[in-house]
Structure 1
Amino acid sequence: MSLVQLLLDISPGSPRRQEVWGQLYAQLQELASEDFIVQSTGKSLNIPQQDRDDVINAVALKILEKSPLPVVTRSEGECRRYLKAMLRNRWIDEQRRRNRHEQLALEEQADSASLASTPPSSDAALSLTDNRKLLERVYQELYSRRAPRFRKELTHTWAQVRGLAFEDATMQELLRNDEGVTASTSQSERKAAQQRIHQNHSRLRKSLLLTVDVMNQEGLLSPDDAMLARQLIANLNRCQSDSVAGVAHGKSP
């Protein structure tokens, strides 16, 4: 299927929106792996492998929010260049944000030390509870729409993601308990096991995003709740590290 047709089918109101989502995501993965030219310097760069999932998820979310895109009626090449520019710009923005964060590192460390000795406020606890309930609603809707033969795997993957986001689980625990990784496991086997977990979580996030879109269209989620749910789901990608502070609270990455 052409990229032009994919962008048409992903637009609001299209009956094939959920069906073609995986194909569009695969196109974004392909584009994110290609080199691009930095106009200000003329240098050829590419998005590092470790950054691609975050960038692709953010751009995919933006496409859902902004569809139909302004290039939807143009040529295949123009659509390709437009999406590639979206990926490039998102990655560059992330690098700039990361640099700003590094400049504030000392101040943040001091703030963190102070906050560590302060119990969470009731408002923060309420926000965490509400965010968890919202994601649970989306997951339950996804579960109800999933074919029975796929529900066991879905339940298992959601339990992992929920544990990382809300229950202080760590990736090391998932590797040990679910993948059987031990101290004697080779580095290549450990890497393969972690990649399996990452891929399963990535597929779940995509399914959750699509479910939010469907729930919003069907009036099962308000526009505000849908926007918050999309942000929370996009932030779940950060839970694959051992540090998940702030993710479940709906803070932007």
Structure 2
Amino acid sequence: MPDDAGTLLRSFLNNALRRQTQRRIRDFGGYEIGKRRKPDVIDAIADEVAEFLCTYLDIKANGRPATKEGVVLAIARALGNVSDELAYRLTSRDDDAWRTVCESVAVFLEARMEFDQKPYDGSLTARSNYNGWKDWEVIVSGERPRGKWRHAWKEKPGDDFIGFDGETCMGRIFKIDLTGSDERWYWLMAADGSPRRGWPAAGYEASARSAACRVERIYFALVKGEARVGYR
């Protein structure tokens, strides 16, 4: 699998898994190591993660398009392999534990399926002249991020950042180098289960500045309860 697709898979897994509610994480991890875990919550987590992956990635199994049900089953099996100790560490938002779980799920999936970028066809956003956005929605040259952005991995600084509005996570941006293509900075919103009001949950821009501004535009619009213009 191409490195860029592998990076996307891990980033999407990290986003989809870590946005689970605290209740689900507690049910998955338990209240002590190996105590009061609820295995049935795995199916709900796997279903939501699979929905996210199937939306933004092209997934194949044995050379054929994978079904969502097949992806759900694979994710559920991977999560079922997580040890009691590691699962419990997730309840305290242990970054190392989350990274280990995301990597183990990614490796499990990669051994059974093929992943690639899904060509952007405009289906996730309104049709427009540029990158899925209407002319008036394009990030202008003088616009600057106003939140606080920091490296996603403290021990490995790179082209991967998380943005905060105070203590609230707004979203994430990261760069994928595509051979023969323009540079792309992907962005992901930190979903909290609230209505999306027509705003997409992920996309890409041509620079880190534009990607960060895109996340902030959507985040602050949602905070204000504003729907995207033209959304029905």
Whether TM-score is above 0.5 comes out as no
Higher strand share: 2
User: So what's the TM-score if we normalise by structure 2?
Assistant: 0.32
Q: Output the TM-score relative to the length of structure 1.
A: 0.30
Quick check: which has more Rg, 1 or 2?
A: 1
